[in-house]
Structure 1
Amino acid sequence: MTRSYNFLLFDGFSNLCLANMVEPLRAANTLAGQDLYAWQFYSPDGAPVQSSSGLQVAPHGAMGFESGDALVVMPSYGYLEHSVPDTHRALRRAATRHPKLAGLDTGSWLLAHAGLLEGHRATIHWDELSRFEEAFPDVEVVQERYVIDRNRITCSGALAVYDLATALILADHGPLLSMEVAHLLMNRSEPSAASPQMKSEDRLVNRVLAVMQSTLDAPVLIKDIARRLGCSQKKIETRVLAELGITPQALYRRLRLNLARKLAVETQQSVAEIASRCGYENPSAMTRAFRAQFGQTPTAYRSGS
């Protein structure tokens, strides 16, 4: 099922805030090979809006009677000028058509002024915390990077928005896709790394991933990985399943097929060459596995058909 996000942008919104929300969703779609998320952009009156750095965005229209899974409110700079009765009424109307409401950066202020955060925990850009707490005593104000309290989501600033987006992907689709998104966007790679590695929070799982990613062209048995790491195969199976919700064998296969997809899109290598680089002796076997994973053959995926 596709989750739909409607972004309500105001003049002065933050480019970085918007990108850090949308790009992880886009990456999740790319990695999953399907539209897990969809989004559209709106402004209060349908006119183009200009970000704090001068980028102009032509919205899909004015926020009227659109519905979706979540409304994301983004004023950023100049939010007090946007906190007017017309805005509050529009947000209250939108709240009836969106199960979840999110205020990014200073969007929390507009939601609170519209009476949509009463009885909820919420945060805001930390420069505004004291003012926010004084203005809205019915809101439990906390100094956190982001807060998800039932059907209300608030976030403190642009960099924290990335953490929020990956947390939402984690909640919707599990830890493996969230980790793959972080890897694709290079959030956890070392700055000097020539070939960034996908990483987990679990130390043993992280070591297993390192071995797997260094042997994609010549896969080894899980029992041999266990021997190399000085632990039992059962321990690896238990920890990988607990951390990523997938067996080590399936994880290894997914890593190899992710590489195959990357090579299909970014190179002109033949299917046989791709298969060899991904540890498949038989190109037909790789093609079958690729189609089972992504719904298309490597050739069709490359052509975008």
Structure 2
Amino acid sequence: MPSDGRLQSVIEVSVVILPESSIMSLASVLDPMRAANRISGREVFRWRLLSADGKPVVLTCGVPIAVEGTLRPPLAGDALLVIGGFNLDRHAGKKFIGALQECSRHFDIVAGIESGCWLLGRSGLLNGRKATAHWEELEDFSQAFPELTVLGDRFVIDGKFWTSGGASPTFDMMLHWITQRLGSALALDVASIFVYDQTHSAADVQPYVSLGRIETRDPKLAEAIRLMERTLERPLTIAALTKRLSISQRKLELLFVRGLSTSPGAYYLRLRLQFAHRLVRDSASPIREIALRCGFDSLSAFSRAYSREYGMSPLKMRLARRGAEA
């Protein structure tokens, strides 16, 4: 409860969920509200699930989600939360964008979650504002919407428009909102319900790798991984890594073998290929451009490394992906 003890009115929330969204992003929105209601012993949040067409939505894990209606005017409330995933062009056309533009006028908060930020961007609602996206899409998001100031933060609040960079940042964002509306004590209780003890602020940078306890157990190993993350496009030699980290090559090798059962070079290459794999499967970027973004000067070298890791060339992987979606 707020510090002044006054009873708050029910917070009315409309959650729009699109097909091929993540169940974790949906849970990160709904479960903090459910837990807040449970802890408070009353209904502090009331929500309804909506879709683009009023039909059930199938998530990426194959679970169908029943909804209560369609995103369309008249619609109003305290918060409009839009959760998007893969293939937005297939699931959210001009009619959806028009409805989003109109409905957003009647909410105090409008949030784009996961790929929902792209829908806010396409609607023009974010023009001239700060925003974020999932770290995999930050560069593409920035190029698609040059009128925005794109940040790598976990979540970004600019006026009434909120954006988050993934499931865990969305949980942080919901805790932040609960703190604002209902007080820090309730937000702490909600986090405790989920044994969530790594609460982040909005401005914390999204990591490529979630290090968990590595940062506490092996801070030098964590520092090495973070340095690798920052240099995927221009990979450092192992000698350069050790110089930047102020340790010997032998020490670096021991850290990786002990902590991750692999060598520094193999892990570095794996990071680059994982990033490339996401771009091959989920973006329209040319293969040559992906190779450069992942630190390969030679397209043939990239194709060989990718094929060893994933069993087929990047071009074949992309064609197989498109065939599966057709």
- For the aligned pair, the TM-score class normalised by the smaller chain equals 0.5 to 0.7
Equivalent-residue separation in structure 2 for 1:83 and 1:76 (angstroms): 11
Q: Is the 8 A contact 2:83 2:113 kept in 1?
A: yes
Higher deviation after alignment, 143-152 or 180-189: 180-189
Which amino acid letter does the alignment assign opposite residue 25 of structure 1?
Answer: M
1:157 counterpart = 2:204: no
Partner of 1:9 in structure 2?
A: 17
1:62 aligned to 70, 87, 95, which one? Answer: 70
Q: Partners of 1:124 and 1:81 in 2: how far apart?
A: 19
Determine whether 1:134 maps to 2:143. yes
TM-score, L = length of structure 2 = 0.56
- Residue 56 of structure 1 aligns with an amino acid whose one-letter code is P
**1:41 matched residue in structure 2:** 49
Q: Which amino acid aligns with 1:92?
A: Q
| Root mean square deviation, CA, Å | 1.6
Question: 2:82 aligned with 1:73, yes or no?
Answer: yes
- 2-structure distance, mates of 1:160, 1:79: 21
Query: Match for residue 96 of structure 1?
Result: 105
Query: How far is 1:83 from its partner?
Result: 4.6
Gapped runs of 5+ residues in structure 2?
A: 1-8, 199-211, 213-326
Contact 1:74–1:104 (Cα < 8 Å) also in 2: yes
Whether the 8 Å contact between 1:83 and 1:113 is mirrored in structure 2 is no
CA–CA distance in 1 between the matches of 2:91 and 2:125? Answer: 16
Q: 2:96 aligns with which of 72, 87, 97?
A: 87
2:107 counterpart SS class: coil
1:208-240 superposed Cα distances (whole Å, 9 cap, x missing partner): xxxxxxxxxxxxxxxxxxxxxxxxxxxxxxxxx
* 1:175 matched to 2:195: no
Q: Distance in 1 between matches of 2:23 and 2:63?
A: 8
2:128 corresponds to 1:119: yes
Amino acid at match of 2:100: L
* Contact kept in structure 1, 2:52 and 2:91, CA below 8 Å: no
Q: Whole-Å Cα distance in 2 between the matches of residues 83 and 56 of structure 1?
A: 18
Match of 1:44, as an amino acid? A
Contact 1:49 1:58 in 2 (8 A): yes
Equivalent residue letter for 1:51: L
Instruction: For 1:81 and 1:128, locate their aligned partners in 2 and report how far apart those are by CA, in whole Å.
Output: 18
Q: Whole-Å Cα distance in 1 between the matches of residues 193 and 17 of structure 2?
A: 27
Structure 1 alignment gaps of length 5 or more: 192-305
Q: Distance in 1 between matches of 2:108 and 2:179?
A: 19
**Separation in 1, partners of 2:147, 2:78:** 25
How far, CA to CA, are the matches of 2:129 and 2:89 in structure 1?
21
User: Structure 1 residues 83, 141: CA separation in 2 closer, same or farther (over 3 Å shift)?
Assistant: farther
Asked if 2 retains the 8 angstrom alpha-carbon contact of 1:27 and 1:184, the reply is yes
Provide Cα deviations, 1:36-90, integer angstroms capped at 9, x if missing partner: 1111000111011100101101100111222111111111122243353122111
**Of 40, 55, 59, which residue of structure 2 is paired with 1:32?**
40
CA contact under 8 A between 1:101 and 1:151: conserved in structure 2? yes
8 A Cα contact 1:75 1:82, kept in partner: no
Matched AA of 2:109: K
Q: 2: distance between equivalents of 1:95 and 1:181?
A: 28
Q: How far did residue 118 of structure 1 move?
A: 0.9
Aligned partners of 2:17 and 2:57 also within 8 Å: yes
For residue 151 of structure 1, what is the amino acid of its counterpart?
K
Matched residue of 1:70: which SS?
strand
